[in-house]
Amino acid sequence: HELACHSYSHPYFSMFSARAAEREITGAHKIIQHVVQEAGVGVSRQNRFFRFPYGDAGSYLNYDTSQEVLADLGYQIAWWDLDTQDWRMELSPYARKPAAVIASLSRARARDVVLLHDRTRTAQVLPSLLDILHSKGMASLPLSEYPVSHPDKSIE
């Protein structure tokens, strides 16, 4: 497992200023650093990844500011290639059936980063998800073993 940053309050970055984007990142970073220190984990063992909530990096100005702040803090941006929409299994009235989440992995290709969430229903179907990947000759790897930056990722 690896600990990563996903912002302080999980906002749409397109909904606020570059200064607010910076506060979202630095606020979460401070909390993570506190937790890492409390756990006694050495900073050198911590891989730093940041994923924009909803994949929304905001305007070009917000994204540029975010990239600068993240680089200064030693983070890499972690995009994804395949969204399983697993979070919808726990959302009413738009719930997604577990079978649909599992079937979404049929589209997975080698080296894809698959987006999953730390949720109860996702944990329940995780063995089936991993079985699908293994049946395709794929494996689950931590982000630190992946090329996570997608420089061609389009920004609003």
Residue 147 has what pLDDT?
61
Share of the chain above pLDDT 70, in %: 91
pTM of the model: 0.83
Residue 26 has what pLDDT?
97
Is 29 in contact with 73 (CB distance < 8 Å)? Answer: yes
Q: Which residues of the chain fall short of a pLDDT of 50?
A: 151-156
Q: Which amino acid is at 153?
A: K
pLDDT in tens, 28-39: 999 999 988 898
Alpha helices in 1-156 (DSSP H): 18-39, 60-73, 98-104, 120-135
